Amino acid sequence: MAALAALLASASLVLPSQANAGSSASGREANGTTAVPSPMRGPKDHSVVKALPPVKMIKCGDALNRLRASKGTAKHVACLDEHPLARTFGIGPDPNWDAHPDFCQFNKAVLYSRQDACQWGTWPFRVLDRQGTLVGSGVIEYLVWETVNTKSLDMYQVLKVRPLALTGVAEVNTFTPTTTCSGAQCAITGTDPVTPTIPVVTGRAYKGTWNAKVSVAKDKSFLTHWTNHLQITGPGWIQPASADLPDAPAIRCDKIITKSTGGCVLPGWPPTLSLSLSDTDPENGVSEAAQHIKDSQNRGPHWGREKDGKPLTRLIDTKLQKANRDAACPASRPPGPAGTSCDEYPFASTHQGAALEGKNDFTVRDINEHHNSNAGTDLGLVYNTYRMLDGDQFWVRIDP
């Protein structure tokens, strides 16, 4: 059988609970406990994620044996795996299948960013009678997307399905979706519509929306993810056609970056700090910092450079940050020309700093002190905007 398109699996992350999540990257960045600012300039595209192996389906031979062994009145069996239902919510007619967010694209298995994710795929199934004869079949197209809020603990998911082809006994059926968010700290707060089961018709689209809220203590974080189960059954089917969509990308909610309101992100997507070589204003620019980073990335091992480099990871421990700064720009280092300051790369607020992974593999340069400070402020904004905790990955892109 054709495989379901798969979503990125939830990653196992070790999340710290430090109260001070906003220590500086190089002694100059914005503090991470400030309010989350507007999104930074940078890439607006969504990463295409490689699909996981297909979901395991029950073999038609096994399904047929179960039907033949049954002593009831069941006549048919569907050749897909069975999964127990958990929490059932509703789905209803969708008059406009093509209405979806810009970040959702058909024919793309998975697209996602720091705040939203989208999955598209098709789900084929067959229905057999006791003699093993094909008496019905169907292909279901689905589109599901989720969005989180970096400034609150609320999130939502939308699931759309459309039967592309239903034949034989599969033309008379009912469809039931089941959606949950994992963990005791995540609760579904509402669904639209509320009807749990509907009849489906070829070519007609259906849509359901689920809202959820996460509870998390101050200075703590919590991982969750959406789980979706789809099931179609008809009169006399001993086994429904059912499938679990692989778990959506992990969602992490915290009250570390902003302790009062909290917020959520998809931590598997690394954000990008972008600095421009043409941003040359003596007081408000960053070009000298950008040039230093570009030269440093070009010499290898390409810390932070997209496509062919290694990602940087945020460091929160202030003592280790100081050790990175002292190793790169020690007090014994002769001062540079007037109006300059010592700039190091990789940043002191990363695990790749001069005293840690970047030991013996870092660069320093005296650059315009305003450019140094401005680049540090931009880095702090990225940390806050994307709710980056210790160990979170990110990239640094130098634009012309």
Question: How far is 309 from 316, CA to CA, in rounded Å?
Answer: 22
Buried b (16+ CB within 10 A) or exposed e, 87-102: eebbbeebeebeebee
**Mean pLDDT computed over 164-173:** 85
**Mean pLDDT computed over 328-354:** 97
Specify the pLDDT at position 129.
84
Which residue has tokens 């400030």?
34
94-122 confidence digits (pLDDT tens): 567 677 777 776 555 566 789 988 888 77
Amino acid at 204: R
Q: How confident is the model at residue 81 (pLDDT cuts 50, 70, 90)?
A: very low
Task: Write the burial class of residue 61 (CB in 10 Å: 0-12 exposed, 13-18 middle, 19+ buried).
Answer: exposed
User: pTM value?
Assistant: 0.78
| Positive or negative: CA dihedral 321, 323, 326, 329 | negative
DSSP one-letter string for 328-378: HS-TTSPP-STTEEEEEES-TTBTTSTTTTTTTS-EEEEEEHHHHHHHHHH
Specify the pLDDT at position 224.
95
Q: Pick the residue with more confidence: 70 or 163?
A: 163
**Mean pLDDT computed over 231-243:** 81
CA angle 306, 307, 312 (to 5 degrees): 40
393: tokens are 């990955």
Q: How confident is the model at residue 13 (pLDDT cuts 50, 70, 90)?
A: very low
Question: How far is 206 from 52, CA to CA, in rounded Å?
Answer: 26
Q: Pick the residue with more confidence: 105 or 45?
A: 105
Answer whether 160's CB lies under 8 Å from 142's CB: yes
344: tokens are 């190091």
**Mean pLDDT computed over 259-281:** 94
With a pLDDT cut of 70, the percent of the chain lying above it is 74
**Mean pLDDT computed over 142-152:** 91
